Amino acid sequence: MSRTETMPSMPEDALISVSGLKKYFPVTRGWLQRQVGEVKAVDDVSFNIRRGETFGLVGESGSGKSTVARLILRAYMLTGGSIKFRRGDGSVVDLSDLSDREMRPVRREMQMVFQDPYSSLDPRMTLLDIVGEPLVIHGVGSKGEIRDRVGELLGLVGLRPEYAVRYPHAFSGGQRQRIGIARALALNPSFIAADEAVSALDVSVAAQNINLLQDLQEKFGLTYLFITHDLGMVEHISDRIGVMYVGRLVELGDTAEIFEKPLHPYTEALLSAVPQPDPRRRESGRRIVLKGEIADPANPPTGCTFHPRCPYATDLCKKEVPELRPVRGRQVRCHYAEELDLAGVGA
Amino acid sequence: MTIDTTPMPPERLLELDDVHVHFSMREGLVKAVNGVSYHVDRGEVLGIVGESGSGKSVTARAIMRLLAKNAIQASGHIRFRPEQGKEVEISSLPRDGRKMRELRGGHIGMIFQEPMTALSPVHSIGTQIMRTVMLHKRVGKEAARARAIELLEKVQLPKPSEMVDRYPHQLSGGMRQRAMIALALSCDPALLIADEPTTALDVTTEAQILELLKSLQEEMGMAIVFITHNFGVVADIADRVAVMYLGRIVETGSVDDIFYQPKHPYTRALLQSIPRLGQAPVHRLKTIPGMVPDPFNAPRGCSFHPRCAYSVAGRCDVYAPDVKRFPDDQSARCHLAGELPEEVVL
């Protein structure tokens, strides 16, 4: 692979390195589908995911976090940027210029777990067909071998191997989510993107599945991209996080540091908005209630996209777009990252 | 059905006494609500928490008499006092009778999780509010429209005089939820039933809606039954809390007692399974083993015993526990309540 030689280096410990990632969706009008604008769903997003870590992407709906996951798995074609992926044999490939055919073997190494355990499993397929499908598609093993492997995978996620003959309707939401996890594991991937993988589940079941994901990570040395709007969950599971707002990263760094002391006003507001299971907090009244709603990515505000809702915004914020820049070992997109004294969570 | 002769205490607004709701299905009888009793006082917020299938929404619909056709309201009494002195037994009223229609929307408002399906897509927000106002308050179109605008302003929608002519699809999720709150409050109800009103919203919008509900509650003095599966939301808004499991209330108490001194093993286990912000990192989350049993064959004895860490063989799996009462109106349906080992919950 001569292509790999010419590329700018990616950090030694990185499994995935995303740089300048862009995805613009066209806005069309009329029966001729004339393009009248574009939605910058993801705009210039860069981050690394280290091998064996869990990287969390958080943000509200419409922030572009799911689009990033889909771009990394090449479910969408990107508008710009590059996605470098370190393969099992040590070679580095840029997913952005692979053809679909070249992409195919790489897909074995990266898999996805979806949010909705009801719509992501075909109701007319048995678990054997569902969990075994990746093996069939990639031509791994004979019929008997596939059956054995499916049984083994179901065992890994805490389901009985005899369940292989059943259909998804016989299972609860939490169990279905496990079936989706078993399917993702079928080809021994090194990377799994989990898009709101526990958001639809009840608390006790979500906790079971989170523990399962962590066990599997330890067992197989998996690397996770964990996408969620649940900040409690992301704090629990992620080593590092990226906070997105209207298609851009606004803060990126170590989870514990960000939660303890955010440097971007949006991160601060997000953290303070989370309802805490602690009635005594009510009196402290520290909650920041943001004005208005998330900006429309088809028609973003001038300057910093967060300025209309930001309690600290000045004239500079209205005019100039802040760059994502290093501040105290993190990346922050705010003009005043150094000056502001923002509140985190904790004691 | 005979009306209970003991009148409700003066502060009482709503009282449920041993309410059962069953559904007859092809697979058998589902006892969705299996003897629920709770009460709501004037102006207080009662939070009802439970996992899916615990019967929290079905109970709320029984209060509104909005249950599906195949529901059998087997037994129990639901009493409501719309004004001082007048007590109504909701459970004995015909569901489409005049009195019930007067209460529904007039004295009891309800908001739902998904405003897109709860609001009519073919009528403007204003029309929907005006109809309710005209029906219950017997006022003309002009007055109803003025009231609609006033309500939209109250729920802090921008430009209420324009918003009144908008349709639900033109609004964002948070704005729709505000419009639905305006509709539910249009006749100054004494009771608002809120069924997971913030579950589908982003955290920042959720915070906005919770703040709005709290300020409206303070201003208008209505009582709220707030149904949710999110303990964080309950901690934020409720005065008292009822925890439901498999069609029963397993524990009730003040919000502080429920969070800091839970008496039922299920409440404890649920509280421990939520990751908390700013908590020292724990390696694993505590979980509740197994899953909610299917309602066709609820376990014998205490319905939580197969998943309970403290279950005593020969007792919990044989005898259904009675309600044990504790100081400050806290009560738990558990054989071992009050005898559980002390645990640091927070």
pLDDT tens profile A155-185: 999 999 999 999 999 888 889 999 999 999 9
Rounded Cα distance between B317 and B302, Å, is 6
Distance of residue B210 Cα from the nearest chain A Cα, in angstroms = 10
pLDDT of amino acid A5: 43
Q: What is the mean pLDDT of residues A115-142?
A: 92
Task: Specify the DSSP class assigned to residue A97.
Answer: G
Reported as a single tens digit per residue, the pLDDT across A129-138 is 999 999 999 9
Interface with chain A: mutation pick from B56, B199, B201, B204, highest number of A CBs within 10 Å: B204
Helix axes A203-220, A173-185, angle to 10 degrees: 20
pLDDT of amino acid A346: 65
Q: Which of B321, B319, B317, B313 is nearest to B338 (CA)?
A: B321
Which chain B residues are closer than 8 Å to A259 by Cβ? 277-278
Distance of residue A239 Cα from the nearest chain B Cα, in angstroms = 11
**What average pLDDT does chain A have?**
90
Say if B309 is an interface residue toward chain A (CB within 8 Å): no
pLDDT bin (cut points 50, 70, 90) of residue A287 is: confident
Distance of residue A260 Cα from the nearest chain B Cα, in angstroms = 7
Which chain B residues are closer than 8 Å to A293 by Cβ? 172, 174-175, 205
C-alpha torsion sign, points B309, B310, B313, B318: negative
Distance of residue A290 Cα from the nearest chain B Cα, in angstroms = 7
B219-246: string of b/e by CB count within 10 Å (b at 16+)? Answer: eeebbbbbbbbbbbbbbbbbbbbbbbbb
Say if B98 is an interface residue toward chain A (CB within 8 Å): no
CB distance A276 to A285 below 8 Å: no
Say if B270 is an interface residue toward chain A (CB within 8 Å): yes
Question: The complex's ipTM?
Answer: 0.84
Distance of residue B270 Cα from the nearest chain A Cα, in angstroms = 6
Rounded Cα distance between A311 and B243, Å, is 38
- Between chains, do B287 and A204 touch, taking CB under 8 Å as contact? yes
Let me know how long chain A is. 347
pLDDT bin (cut points 50, 70, 90) of residue A122 is: very high
Q: What is the mean pLDDT of residues A85-107?
A: 92
Q: Does position A347 have pLDDT exceeding 70, yes or no?
A: no
Place of tokens 């599971």: A237
- Between chains, do A275 and B210 touch, taking CB under 8 Å as contact? yes
Answer with the residue of higher pLDDT: B125 or A117. B125
Say if B345 is an interface residue toward chain A (CB within 8 Å): no
Tokens of B153: 């302003």
CB distance B186 to B130 below 8 Å: no
- Between chains, do A282 and B233 touch, taking CB under 8 Å as contact? no
Which chain B residues are closer than 8 Å to A270 by Cβ? 203-204
Tokens of A101: 């055919």
CB distance B195 to B111 below 8 Å: yes
Tokens of B14: 């709503």
Rounded Cα distance between A329 and A257, Å, is 10
Q: In chain B, what are the helix, strand and coil shares in percent, each to the nearest 5? A: 35, 25, 40
Q: Quote the distance between the C-alpha of residue A116 and its chain's center.
A: 15
Q: What is the dihedral of CA B94, B45, B200, B277, to 10 degrees?
A: -150
Which chain A residues are closer than 8 Å to B56 by Cβ? none
Which chain B residues are closer than 8 Å to A175 by Cβ? 291
pLDDT of amino acid A3: 45
Rounded Cα distance between A11 and A125, Å, is 42
Rounded Cα distance between B224 and B108, Å, is 10
Tokens of B216: 């409206």
Interface with chain B: mutation pick from A65, A203, A243, highest number of B CBs within 10 Å: A203
Interface with chain B: mutation pick from A160, A228, A236, A237, highest number of B CBs within 10 Å: A236
Name residue B61's amino acid. Answer: R
Cα within 13 Å of Cα(A141), Cβ side: 15
Of all residues in chain A, the one with the smallest CA distance to B277 is A232
Cα within 13 Å of Cα(A64), Cβ side: 29
Rounded Cα distance between A208 and A172, Å, is 13
Rounded Cα distance between A156 and A163, Å, is 13
Q: What is the mean pLDDT of residues B104-133?
A: 91
> Using CB atoms, which residue from B172, B236, B277 is nearest to A259?
B277
Reported as a single tens digit per residue, the pLDDT across A26-39 is 988 888 888 888 89
> Using CB atoms, which residue from B230, B278, B286 is nearest to A345?
B278
Place of tokens 């403007």: B124
Q: What is the mean pLDDT of residues A108-119?
A: 89
> Using CB atoms, which residue from B273, B279, B281 is nearest to A203?
B273
pLDDT of amino acid B281: 65
Q: Residue ranges per domain, chain A?
A: 256-347
Distance of residue B278 Cα from the nearest chain A Cα, in angstroms = 4
- Between chains, do A275 and B274 touch, taking CB under 8 Å as contact? no
pLDDT bin (cut points 50, 70, 90) of residue B2 is: very low
Distance of residue B251 Cα from the nearest chain A Cα, in angstroms = 17
- pTM equals 0.89
Tokens of B107: 């004295």
CB atoms within 10 A of CB A189: 20
Answer with the residue of higher pLDDT: A8 or B38. B38
Tokens of A338: 């150094």
pLDDT bin (cut points 50, 70, 90) of residue A6 is: very low
pLDDT bin (cut points 50, 70, 90) of residue B143 is: very high
Name residue B220's amino acid. Answer: M
pLDDT of amino acid A285: 61
- Between chains, do B270 and A290 touch, taking CB under 8 Å as contact? no
Give the C-alpha distances (Å, rounded to integers) separating B170 from B19, B80, B157: 40, 37, 13
pLDDT of amino acid A323: 94
% chain A with pLDDT above 70 = 96
CB atoms within 10 A of CB B279: 16
- Between chains, do B256 and A211 touch, taking CB under 8 Å as contact? no
Q: Which of A85, A73, A113, A109 is nearest to A190 (CA)?
A: A109
Tokens of B289: 């083993």
A92-101 long-range contacts, CB within 8 A, separation 24+:
A92/A4, A92/A7, A92/A10, A93/A1, A93/A3, A93/A4, A94/A3, A94/A4, A94/A7, A97/A3, A98/A74
A314 backbone φψ class: left, alpha, beta (φ>0; ψ -120 to 50): beta
Q: Which of A248, A230, A229 is nearest to A334 (CA)?
A: A248
Reported as a single tens digit per residue, the pLDDT across B224-279 is 999 999 999 999 999 999 999 999 999 999 999 999 999 999 999 999 888 888 77
Lowest mean pLDDT among A18-22, A28-32, B96-100: A28-32
With H, G, I as helix, E, B as strand and everything else as coil, classify residue A252: strand
Q: How many CB pairs under 8 A join A and B?
A: 136
Task: Specify the DSSP class assigned to residue A275.
Answer: P
Q: Does position B342 have pLDDT exceeding 80, yes or no?
A: no
Query: Residue A50, class by beta-carbon neighbours within 10 Å (0-12 exposed, 13-18 middle, 19+ buried)?
Result: middle
- Between chains, do A276 and B236 touch, taking CB under 8 Å as contact? yes
Tokens of A58: 């958080």
- Between chains, do B286 and A207 touch, taking CB under 8 Å as contact? yes
CB distance B323 to B332 below 8 Å: yes
Q: Does position B344 have pLDDT exceeding 60, yes or no?
A: no
Give the C-alpha distances (Å, rounded to integers) separating B240 from A55, B118, B243: 38, 27, 10
- Between chains, do A202 and B292 touch, taking CB under 8 Å as contact? yes
Interface with chain B: mutation pick from A204, A209, A234, A245, highest number of B CBs within 10 Å: A204
DSSP B116-176: HHHS-TTS-HHHHHHHHHHHHH---HHHHHHHHHHHHHHTT-SSHHHHTT--GGGS-HHHH
